A and B are shown apart, each in its own frame.
Chain A
Amino acid sequence: MNKRGTALILAYIVITALTILSAAFVSRSISESNMLRRHIASEQAFWIAEAGLNDALYNMRISSSWQPPASALDYGGGAYSVQKVDIGSAIELRSTGTYDNVSRSIKGALLRIPKPFENTLSVGGDLSLTGLLARVEVYDKTRISGTYSKSMFANGWFEDKQEGASSQDTTIPVPDYNNNGTANEFSDFVLFGRDAVQSYSADEVVYIQNNGTVNIFPDQSLVGKKVIFVEGSIPGAGDVNIFFDASWQEGEDLTVISTGTVTYLEPLQFQQDARLSIIAWDDYRELSVFRSQHESIIYAHDDANFVDILDWGSTTGNIIVNDDMSLLEVLTYEKYYYSDKAINGDLPPGFQGLCSANGVLSSKLSDWQEW
């Protein structure tokens, strides 16, 4: 067999193979270099957008009537452009950063927080202290649209109390969720509760439909939950009793929403940075027999009653009662402290849905997200 020329052919094959492999490596190297360039550009664009958002926030803090410039501003080798959009319950600030032809956009909202969040106690109706030999202390503002009264042996101390306050300073109507032109209806409240549930991922919420009374005990399956909504089919149905707390977890920020009455029994909230808040279509009741302490934002669409027996308790947060509030302590010492978290934009889960165009613009950005 004549094998002359075989070496040449094999050399040719090897050279071809090496050429193809080299081309592949060069191609991959170029592709990775492009990806890296785009990745860096994307990161740069993000932080430029972030700078734009912070610039807008700074300007809004100086003056809420600030308007963003019409054209993009150069920054960090790229540019950002900012938009200010009024969405009624909030002012949305949107920023787009561009770097090396790559754009990224982020936005945040300055919520319009209802005015009652400026107060410790906000009572749309009358406030009465009818306990026996009880002392109640309320720090910061107490605003009452009706009147304050107390029984002979009860003692109330208020740092800053005002009776006959405007209802805008003391009450929060439920916004017109069903868009029928009338706010504050039960159907609005149901849609508000459902909206609160749908604002979080499925593992952060518990949605219950029940016309009975749901008793909630501390349970580890409730750790990390944001919203529990108990929905009854008619106004006043779907009551909730909360015993002690719900999850006994540090950093807890849970809101219980009910179409009925919520009763908080023996609040024992000792965890750091924890908050258990209440939104009730009907009444809010609080009862304790031992020392109680909790941080809560309480919103009762109707009345609120606090009943303590032979002990002392303290509530930190904001209590907003659209109608009457009564303090029925018996031989107790109850203190109410103000928390400015909510007015600064750190609203508990679900409460954002109560913001409306009449509110006070928060100083902190909420709902920060990429879009």
Chain B
Amino acid sequence: MARYIMNKKIFLVILSILLVVVFISISRPRVYKKKTKAIADRLPFKKEGIPTPRLVPARPEDYGMVVFEQSSQPPGEAQINALIHKKMQDIKTRFPEEVLSKVGERIKEDAQKTKEKLAQIDEAIIKCRQILKDEPYNEEARNRLQNLLILKSIAQELPER
């Protein structure tokens, strides 16, 4: 008899614990899933207190950028041509065809016109080089020469004729 009562007591204790666990799990407030989120919470405006990014300098090359270091000589014609050529190849392989065809459409022109432009640029380059020969420290002429060399390279590389 004592054993019977003892077993029943153990049974009651286990049952009570089970019931308490069930009670707690049932009465715990349910966490709303994303799809039940309030409309207002889905509106596209900033919440205050978003953590602001720390000022950690990025590596330009991670974003396809190329840096001409200040300490080194400004890049010459061959260097600029190589850079623009390489970048144009990158762009052609990485960008979707429809983006590139839009670019091509925008700048399409006949070969003769491009030739005229190149001649015009060459003329301006010669003038700039002459100025720099006479005034080697003329910063304006140096910048202009650099820009003309880049434009010449673009004119040679860009058109989808």
Partner-B contacts on A (CB < 8 A) = 1-3, 9, 13, 16-17, 20-21, 23-25, 27-28, 31-32, 35, 39, 42-43, 46-47, 104, 194, 197-202, 205-222, 237, 241, 243-244, 248, 263, 265-266, 268, 270, 285, 287-291, 293, 307, 309-311, 330, 367-371
- Are B45 and A370 in contact, CB atoms less than 8 angstroms apart? yes
CB < 8 Å: which of A42, A207, A215, A285 contacts B83? A215
Number of A-B contacts (CB under 8 A): 176
Asked whether, in the complex, the Cβ of A1 is within 8 Å of the Cβ of B67, the reply is no
What residues on B are CB-neighbors of A289 within 8 Å? Answer: 117, 121, 151, 154-155
In the bound complex, do residue A213 and residue B67 qualify as a contact, i.e. CB atoms below 8 Å apart?
yes
CB distance from A213 to the nearest CB of B (A): 4
CA distance A217 to B88 in the complex (A): 9
Which of A32, A197, A211, A311 has a CB less than 8 Å from the CB of B53? A197
What 9 A-B pairs have minimum CB-CB distances, sorted nearest first?
A219-B64, A202-B53, A290-B107, A46-B40, A24-B26, A213-B68, A24-B23, A212-B69, A212-B70
CB pair B57 A287 closer than 8 Å: no
Q: If the complex has contacts A20-B23, A201-B53, are A212 and B68 also in contact, measured as CB distance less than 8 A? A: yes
Closest to B90 in A: A217
How many B residues are at the interface, by size bracket?
35 or more
Q: Shortest distance in angstroms between A10's beta carbon and chain B's nearest beta carbon?
A: 9
Could you say which residues of chain A place their CB within 8 Å of the CB of B68? 212-213, 215
Extra inter-chain contacts (16) besides given A198-B55, A367-B46, CB under 8 Å: A9-B8, A47-B40, A104-B40, A197-B53, A197-B55, A198-B53, A206-B58, A215-B67, A219-B65, A241-B150, A265-B147, A289-B154, A291-B106, A309-B120, A369-B46, A369-B47
Identify the closest chain A residue to B102 (Cβ).
Answer: A270
| Contacting residues, chain B, for A201 (C-beta < 8 A) | 50, 53
**What's the minimum C-beta distance from A288 to chain B, rounded to whole angstroms?**
8
User: Which of B62, B109, B124, B154 makes the CB contact (< 8 A) with A266?
Assistant: B154
Residues of A with C-beta under 8 A to B103: 244, 248, 268, 270
Q: How far is the CB of B136 from chain A (nearest CB, A)?
A: 20
Kindly list chain A residues whose C-beta atoms are within 8 Å of the C-beta of B84: 243
